[in-house]
Amino acid sequence: MGKIKYCLLLLLKKIKGIPGAIKKAYKYEKFKKFAKVGKDLSLSVLSDCDADTPGCIEIGNGCEIFGRLESQSGGKIRIGDNTAIYNKSVVGSVESISIGNCVIISNHVHIYDNNNHPVDPEIRMEMCKKGFKGEDWRWKNSASSPVVIEDGVWIGEYSAILKGVTIGKGSVVGCHSVVTKDVPPYSVVAGNPARVVKELKK
């Protein structure tokens, strides 16, 4: 390979990486705007963070956040150290979500401390008639209850963790599970609704 061709390939490789690097830098600044960020935070171009009130989101040291964190109406999100939240997962709070240390949250996981919308069909019909934006669509208008995910938990892909749930230390949530009730420590749960299918050694 000639020197000129080799230099061109190196240049193209560098140029290819620039847009991704710019996006990551922008994401990091956005996270710093809305969250208290610990050391060594790793982000991707898919990472996102949003809050009505800056400071409601706290991220510990050594975390990878490749999903979306959203706080509405002062909802708290607390993430411990060395925790990973992977692609297209969403953590949404209007009250309180606490995620411990060394937690693995796989791709496409949804964790909400609220129902997003009211359960009453008449209220939802009125919301739709008024249009699909505005105060009626805010999470504060739905039922909510805190979520706690303790240290060492692993949540499999496409799972949903619903309001009011505590997932005990060291537990595993199987892929595609819908967790509606508390999970005991060191348990494996699976299904919709999720049930204990195995106990783990402590």
pTM, full prediction: 0.87
Mean pLDDT for all residues in the chain: 91
CATH of residue 183's domain is 2.160.10.10
Q: Which domain holds residue 74?
A: 3-199
How many domains is the chain built from?
1
Q: How far apart are CA 148 and CA 83, in angstroms?
A: 14
pLDDT at 28: 83
pLDDT tens digits, residue range 89-136?
A: 999 999 999 999 999 999 999 999 999 999 999 999 999 999 998 899
H/E run at residue 54: none
- Could you tell me the two tokens for 127? 């919301």
pLDDT tens digits, residue range 139-166?
A: 999 999 999 999 999 999 999 999 999 9
pLDDT tens digits, residue range 41-71?
A: 999 888 999 999 888 999 999 999 999 999 9
Q: How far apart are CA 77 and CA 61, in angstroms?
A: 15
DSSP β-ladder status, 178-179 and 64-65: unpaired
- Catalytic residue IDs: 117
